[in-house]
Structure 1
Amino acid sequence: MTRGELRIYLGAAPGVGKTYTMLEEAHRRAERGTDVVVALVETHGRRHTQAMLADLEVVSRRKVQYRGVDFTELDVGAVLARAPELVVVDELAHTNVPGSRHGKRWEDINELLDAGIDVLSTVNVQHLESLNDVVAQITGVEQRETVPDAVVRAAEQVELVDMTPEALRRRMAHGNIYQPEKIDAALGNYFRTGNLTALRELALLWLADKVEDQLDKYRTDNKIDKTWETRERVVVALTGGPEGETLIRRAARIATRTASPRSGGVDLMAVHVTRNDGLAGADPATLARQRILVESLGGSYHQVAGADVPQALLDFARAVNATQIVLGVSSRGKFAQMLSAGVGVTTTSLSGSIDVHLVPHERASQGRSARRIPAALSRGRRIAGYVATTAGLPALTALLSAGPSLSLTNDILLFLAAVVGVALIGGLWPALLAAVAGSLMLNYFFTPPVGRFTIAEGDNLLALAIFVAVALAVSWVVDTAARKTRQAAQAGTDAQILATVAGGVLRGERPLLALLERLRETFTLDSVTLLEKGVVVAEAGGRVCTRSVDADAEVKVDDELTLLMKGRPLQASDRRIIEAFAAQATVALRQERLTAEAATAKPLAEADRMRTALLAAVSHDLRTPLSSAKAAVASLRSPDVDFDDDDRAELLETADESLDRLTRLVENLLDMSRLQAGALGVHPIAVGAEEVVPRALDDLGPTGRDVAAHIPDDLPYVHADPGLLERVIVNLLANAQRYSPADRPPAVTASALGDKVEIRVIDHGPGIPEDRWDDVFLPFQRLGDRDNHTGVGLGLALSRGLTEAMGGTLTPEETPGGGLTMILTLPTAAAA
């Protein structure tokens, strides 16, 4: 029997329309003649979803009693007996009541699929097992019902039902998701804009991974190794030479030019191909610097092994579905290029649909600089090899001459064994000497005519030639194996040191000092000092070096930085690792300086901005009420005008209002200064919001009667200073009144969320763009005031400061339908 197909509708949050979209598909299938039944759909009282069940056959649910309570679950047996072509089963991650056929609903669906029935189902991203903890961190709500990712990934189709956070919150506000009494708490808790945005991104990324997996599977199943340009990916090949930085920057420019809205950006990847014997032929310090450069440009660094460099490079490029490869023009000389095509030319000829860029550089076609080949064996072993040659070959000759006569073939084999022994002891050069000396002794003492350096028979000449060739070949192989063994051991040691260094630096709070200390410990040095233009910038150890003549080793990092080490001379092989240390030290120093500069500049810039804003705002706002009060008083004192009672009362009222404004301004300035100095007195007690909010409305005067207040009687007491809390609410309401239209006055509501209470001040004005939300809490900022000549912009800044002084938070949020909502969150008295 053919297994049924599963189609899943994935959503970021409840209410995006998964069930509705699933039922739309069920109707389309039914209209095309498919036998469709609905086994289980949760409408949650949503009238539009309930309407979609019309004209669809519904299979009755199975009733299950658990602990005296009746529940309904999916009736798998009834669906199997009905045997439709397609069945609709909502909420894939649901946990069944104990005593059900299976523990989880996705297991019920698996049984239906095994029976050959196609299934439509739904799931939210927060129920995916791999994202469960991430969602809990974002929303603060732990989801106990989960479904393994493998179940969803195994579905034939996964369709994302998407909706912007703003649209979803409007649906919520219009009552299309939850009942009215739950809307306010939902908007302030799970359905915050930030939560919904994060959940939406998780859903998009998870689905993108599934699509990528599907594409990779399709390419693998169909044996497709050609590049599909679904996304631009630029691969730059690094040899470890100095030209690498030029290639990286050129590749980055190519990636920038290639980026387009359609492709959604370009991946930049640098790759270094090492020989598959594990031996590093490139300079690790140079590669370390180039890796840092790639990552600073937003790319990634990779390292692969392969005997055939062009083929390994192309295998990597095709594996990552690369579209372009950037290579440097060959650094080999013209004669070497005549002998072999080289990596660049070979890669271009085999690249197929991948574009290859050959980039010229300063070292192109100049030939590689000769590198000193390190000795494969120690000096003592080479001396032992020469001794074995000079003493052993004469002894062997004497022994063969004095003993029973052997054939020339046996003599040659014995001398060949002696040459192999010398190669094993002393390496290449002693073995070459042994091969030449052995051939001469065989010719003189054992090849007819004996006693002369001539050969009478052609067979003997051939045997001696084979002897020399085999001796040379064996000597070369032994020497090469010894050299590679030594290099491999050194490479392993270097890799282990660098890994240890990386771990130590990452765990340290100060990367530069941790790096220098690790370098000192690794090479058992007394001290390591980093100089910049001769000045000490960092040191590890007790004996600081300030001059090159005082150091045992010196590594030049760049034109300005020098690394001095004291304690013991360093071997040439150690310098390669130390240069990698030095490259990392440069980056660490720059990062520490940037961090320090940012920390120093921030308070200075803030103080300067505050001072400028204070002078600009206060100079106007102090002058205005003073001028009004002075004008009113001057008019009353003037003997030239005889005011009647009404005029006199109006002038007195003007003076009184102006002085009140001046008093509030001075109080706000004083409170702000106390907050910044940490000298504000806060006396929190248990207080009820239903007591403070009415007093705040009274403080607003006649306009306070227009504010709609909804404060539950059973709201828990909050832990706050009553006077400061009242002042915060007055400031928030006054700010909301300023921007609210006349026909839609502001509102204040309150609700309990766990061990906290939220007081929400809601206006339906023009609102503020989300990227300016933080700016409204800056002192002396007035964003979008219709009357920009009143107030110094201290109200919201002071409100947030007072709230935080009481242990609460004040955050803005978009009002569904337009406007701004200020959320004042305080701990409950019981929690405090």
Structure 2
Amino acid sequence: MSLEERRPDPDALLALTGKEGQGKLRVFLGAAPGVGKTYAMLARARAAKAEGLDIVIGLVETHGRKETEALAEGLEILPRRKIAYRGRSIEEFDIDAALERKPRLIVVDELAHTNAPDSRHPKRWQDVEELLDAGVDVWTALNIQHLESLADVVSRITGVAVRETVPDRVLQSAADVILVDITPDELLQRLQEGKVYVPETARRATQNFFTPRNLTALRELALRRTAERVDDQMVAYLRQGAIEGPWATAERLLVCVGDEGSESAIREAARLASALNASWIAAYVERAGHETQSAEAVRKLDDALHLAERLGAETARLSGDDLAGEILKFARQENITQIVVGRSRAGFLGKFFRRSLPDEIARRAADIAVLLTGAGEVAPMPRAWKPPKTANIWFGLAAATGAVAATAGVGVLIENWLNIPNMAVIFLLPVMVCAIWLGLSSAIAAAVLSFFACDFFFVEPRYGLTVTEPQEFLELVVSLAVATVTGMLASRMREQSHAMRRRAETAQSLFDFSRKLSAATSEDDILWATTSQVQKAMESPCVVILTPEEGGFAIAASWPPLDQLDAGEDGAARWALEKSEASGWRTGTLPNVRFQFRPLATPRGVVAVCGVEPKRRAEAFSGQEERMLTALLEQTAIAIDRSRLVGDSIKAAALEENERLRTTLLASLSHDLRTPLASITAAITSLRQLGERLPPDDRRDLMASIEEEAGRLGRFIANLLDMSRIEAGGLAPRRDLVDVASAIRAAVERIRKTYPAQRTAVSVAPELPLIRGDANLLGQVLFNLLDNAHKYGGPNGAIVHARPEGAEVVITVTDEGPGVKPSDLDRIFEKFYRGGRPDGRKAGTGLGLSICRGLVQAMGGEIIAQSPAIRRRGTRIVMRFPAVHGTSGGAKP
């Protein structure tokens, strides 16, 4: 293999780089409790601490073993988190403390432990994964019976149900797996000496779980799983380093699957792999030129590969012209030690003219054993041509005869004017034409006919099939050979050109369909795009059915349009949806209905069913049609799932926003209602209890406080009512002529009573035009803006300015406070939004400006905020209303 081909596996390198920045996991694996996992882990931890490594103990369960506790002395131990559970206190691993401390290495014992109910993660292995993601190395301990894939096996062996499990991927992702192993006799001796459990518990354990038979079986499981982990590490190293295998450290089988499925060969390979305790792979190589494979062949191949998966094999689909080369290249990449291949179906002549696939693999596999089985025959090496149909043969023969006759006639005419020494060369023309237009069989017929035509018309003695000179006979034979080879090459180029054209059309069709799906904004758009594309690709009617409804199924989309399904089609569609398998035409379920229904499956289940009516009921879908339909339906399923996920995310965002608004509203209500009510209650209580004993000034102050707080409470309730009216669309402002100057004067008089100690300046241009609107609503807007300006604008108060500007009247309310952050200028008009001040303070309900915007917009105006406003400070609220030309207000504030 060339240096260019011997490059590292990209997937292996991506997996390697994907672990950068993550911590490394080391698992101390044991066959059973008491083998010394924690002891070995702490002994290594002490050695690492002595070398200067930053190491802490997150959690270690010593179970009262003094020698284990002694090893933990001198090591930093994080305090445990105490949790009250069912009336007692439980101590758990504190992951927050570990992340805050963030050592280089942390020891977390008992990986399979289940955390207390209110913990962040339900399982301790999830805590470990979070530590690894944070870049912390973790050492942990695990018993083999807690591995998820082996839990049922251990239960059958020991008769004890395993309730706490760890996913296999956790062990597979570990950087190191250290097997801590002792013999069953040694472990039983430790039990009797009380080094594992207290005497009474140890006695019960030896009668149930800790029996020699159970311990031996568990030990074998631990040894095998550790060996498999080491083998996986070695294969990953080979791929990352572009090192060719095989390394015969463990047996690994590859079975070659043929066109017809080779189920017998797969079962034979499964038995062999089981006998050798070896992993195995079932691989199929797609041959060039087999794009028109029948749907039946595709189905048999899929069934065979699914059978291999059920029997415990990995599966792979390869593609290439050199079948043997592709198989051997894949075998070396996967560290295969034995290749299982069935016998060839080629006959005696086929074996004579070309080498069979098993022979070719055996010839080139110098370092890999090749096992030839009697079951599951495989096809021979690919031929350069396929026998055409009978009708095509007769048409091609007739076309070849006509082309050769025309060429012979042209040759006779040419010979009258030109003296050409070798007329055989002109007979390459009909061979080439037949090869390009009609295929190989017609080209071979043209070559043979050219041989006889050249001999008959242009070789002495003419008009006979007798050849007198040996060199002339040799020329004819060579011409026949050249014509045949030329025809074969031209025919092969024709087939490859057709195959490339079909592939290009398929790729373009899938590309166009993917663009339609990406542009689809709703589920209906996706379904209509699917039905039209399937109908166009298959030239058959298509229907898509979504969720079942009472009495039948709802047709979501169809092309050509279809109103309803009959009873049989309804049952077939229901079966496909409920059982997640194809039904209808040419299936095992209701095969006589006109549609074939296929489920559109996603990780969340079957989302829809697509029915396709075949164009030719007597013939199955071709391989090309089958692949096209499968690709279209898979893309549709992904698009529907994506659409529903987007819908779910929008709903979740809406619920989150509603929850935020509800929380904000409750917080505002609790503050803005409680404060004035508390002031009113305190004032009334003082008046009632003290009465005439209070000085007159104090009584007046209390009454003023009651009046002020009641007004504040009334304004708050009015704001809530106004906001509800605005959102409900129930606000219908009047369209009267409004004198802006009068509205400003009324609002300023109200605000001066509310804030008598603060200044409110007014500047109104003379002859200010009138506007259309509601004077009361405009006054409320101005009062709310002035109220905000006095609350947050500081001691300098507020400035109100009104002026005409073109066809508009502009009203501004300006304060000289700290201003609003630029990032919050667009958000301060949002409901319940209370941010925006540079000093970080938040006050009020966040409704005032939102109400102002709603009222201004209802009157046909617009409102914006500007900050800074004056001398790099303050906030200016700008309102614009269409002016009524030819009018002017007379009132002046």
The structure with more radius of gyration: 2
TM bucket normalised to smaller: 0.3 to 0.5
Q: TM-score, normalised by structure 2?
A: 0.44
Q: TM-score, normalised by structure 1?
A: 0.47
